[in-house]
């Protein structure tokens, strides 16, 4: 009996060694796996960037634009890159109806300091880009009701004037941005336009000589810039001015000969007549 138990115990000890080695190996593999996964999670956590939603401009918005729902969009922005004063989507109701104090590019976040509520308006010099000129016209001079035009609108200006006995209407300026429109209780309605310096000269000359008409255009339409011009309306419209020194041709008779040039002076004509009447 004892002889049979000894080999069994030897085999059991051998199996237990194998089982222990297998268990230790499995435990080591599990521990290594957990360590690797924990390290991966730590690296992912360090690389993870928190995103937040903010209101941005859905399109390029010039200063003076009265914000509408179509002007706004929601964009995810990394938290470290979010400027202070940005607006959350819940603030859309407050943004709609406000007026932009400066230009905002498409996709740029809207800032609280950029919004002006009704009744607040910045100096026009802040709305006017560098190198531009603001020209203010009475609304009745451009045949436009100031209640229709709003700051940020884009208009085309046409001029009607008399030239060589004919009434002409031609485009004067195209794609002109309205900086401000309206008037106080005791002031006549007016419209302030954003123009280039040479276009301001055109506008002043047209006011003095002709009648202006404004036509509202879609803000997305491409503006067609007009050529620069001097202060003479006919010249800036591309119309030829008659030469003041030019005289109507006059046929001059030299005896039995007719000279068609008609540009000679009286001394020359007298000399010609004297020669024709000579002996």
Greater model confidence, 66 or 247 = 66
Instruction: Dig out the tokens for 159 from the structure.
Output: 């001029």
| pLDDT at 50 (0 to 100) | 83
pLDDT tens digits for range 222-272: 555 444 444 455 555 565 554 544 444 455 444 555 444 444 444 444 444
Residue 55 reports pLDDT greater than 50: yes
**Mean model confidence pLDDT for the chain:** 76
| pLDDT at 100 (0 to 100) | 87
Integer angstrom CA distances of residue 224 from 2, 21, 150, 221, 239: 113, 85, 21, 9, 19
pLDDT tens digits for range 125-184: 777 788 899 998 888 777 765 567 888 888 999 999 888 888 888 899 998 988 888 765
Is 121:93 a contact under the CB 8 Å cutoff? no
> For residue 61, which of 15, 104, 5, 115 has the smallest C-alpha distance?
104
Four-CA torsion 197, 201, 206, 208, nearest 10 degrees: 130
Is 254:276 a contact under the CB 8 Å cutoff? yes
| pLDDT at 241 (0 to 100) | 52
pLDDT band at 64 (very low <50, low <70, confident <90, very high): confident
Is 126:64 a contact under the CB 8 Å cutoff? no
- Strand 211-217 and strand 154-163: pairing? antiparallel
Q: Would you tell me how many other CB atoms lie within 10 Å of the CB of residue 50?
A: 8
Which residues lie across from 252 on neighbouring strands? 259
Instruction: Dig out the tokens for 38 from the structure.
Output: 């924990």
pTM: 0.45
| pLDDT at 59 (0 to 100) | 92
Least confidently predicted of 16-20, 49-53, 123-127, 184-188? 184-188
Q: How far is 185 from 183, CA to CA, in rounded Å?
A: 7
Greater model confidence, 61 or 13 = 61
């Amino acid at each position: 009996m004892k002889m049979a138990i000894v080999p069994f115990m030897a085999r059991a000890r051998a199996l237990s060694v194998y089982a222990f080695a297998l268990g230790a190996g499995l435990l080591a593999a599990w521990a290594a796996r957990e360590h690797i996964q924990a390290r991966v999670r730590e690296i992912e956590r360090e690389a993870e960037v928190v995103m937040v939603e903010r209101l941005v401009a859905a399109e390029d918005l010039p200063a003076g634009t009265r914000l509408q729902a179509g002007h706004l969009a929601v964009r995810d922005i990394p938290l470290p890159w979010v400027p202070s004063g940005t607006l959350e989507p819940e603030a859309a109701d407050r943004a709609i109806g406000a007026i932009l104090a400066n230009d905002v590019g498409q996709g740029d976040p809207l800032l609280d300091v950029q919004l002006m509520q009704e009744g607040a308006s910045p100096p026009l010099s802040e709305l006017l880009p560098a190198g531009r000129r603001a020209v203010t016209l009475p609304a009745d001079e451009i045949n436009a009701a100031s209640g229709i035009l709003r700051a940020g609108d884009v208009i085309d200006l046409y001029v009607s004037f008399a030239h060589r006995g004919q009434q002409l209407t031609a485009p004067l300026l195209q794609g002109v941005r309205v900086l401000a429109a309206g008037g106080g209780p005791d002031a006549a309605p007016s419209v302030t336009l954003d123009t280039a310096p040479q276009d301001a000269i055109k506008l002043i000359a047209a006011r003095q000589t002709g009648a202006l008409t404004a036509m509202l255009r879609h803000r997305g339409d491409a503006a067609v810039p007009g050529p620069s011009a001097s202060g003479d309306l006919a010249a800036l419209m591309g119309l030829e001015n008659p030469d003041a020194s030019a005289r109507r041709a006059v046929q001059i008779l030299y005896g039995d000969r007719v000279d068609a040039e008609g540009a000679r002076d009286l001394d020359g004509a007298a000399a010609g007549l004297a020669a024709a009447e000579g002996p």
